[in-house]
Amino acid sequence: MSEPQDCLFCKIIAGEIPSTKVYEDDTTYAFKDINPKAKVHVLIVPRRHYANVAELAKADPAELAHIAEVAQSIADKEFHGAYRLIFNTGLDAGQTVFHVHAHVLTGEKLDE
Ligand code: AMP
Ligand code: ZN
């Protein structure tokens, strides 16, 4: 799949827009959310562009599983393994960037 020129997260992955890296490997990049909703708020993205989690699940389920593993490892380091993992999907669910991303909220006890 080609990477859209106007995709904010493709530009972050390419290093064209700065970000605070938390983790990276060949397929996956993780960085701090610019507007954190918890003490630790990290976004995990596949390097390849998919619009949402359902597209990713269909095209590359191993990458989706890998994102869950990366989330766990961040929470293991930051907060004894406890975390919230969120994929906002669709405008009316609050998705604003249409490059699939997992929100990892951790680092403190979270409100229910
Ligand atoms: P969503 O609303 O689920 O699409 O999440 C998009 C997230 O990207 C929001 O939590 C924003 O705070 C975050 N965000 C937007 N621009 C940047 C940026 N340049 N660097 C880091 N996070 C960003
Ligand atoms: Zn993208």
| Ligand 1 pocket test, candidate residues 96, 98, 104, most atoms within 8 A of CB | 96
Contact 3, 47 (CB under 8 A): no
Q: In the predicted model, is pLDDT for residue 51 greater than 50?
A: yes
pLDDT at 1: 47
Cβ density class 73-90: b for 16+ within 10 Å, e for less: ebbeebbeeebeeebbbe
pLDDT at 3: 63
How confident is the model over 32-54, as a mean pLDDT? 98
Residues in the ligand 1 pocket, defined by CB under 6 Å: 8, 17, 19, 33-35, 43, 88, 94-97
**CA 77 / ligand 1 centre spacing (Å):** 22
Catalytic residue among 41, 49, 66, 101: 101
> What ligand has the least distance to the C-alpha of 30?
1
Q: In the predicted model, is pLDDT for residue 62 greater than 70?
A: yes
* Reported pTM: 0.97
The enclosing H or E element of 77 equals: helix 61-78
How confident is the model over 19-41, as a mean pLDDT? 98
How confident is the model over 62-69, as a mean pLDDT? 98
Q: In the predicted model, is pLDDT for residue 85 greater than 50?
A: yes
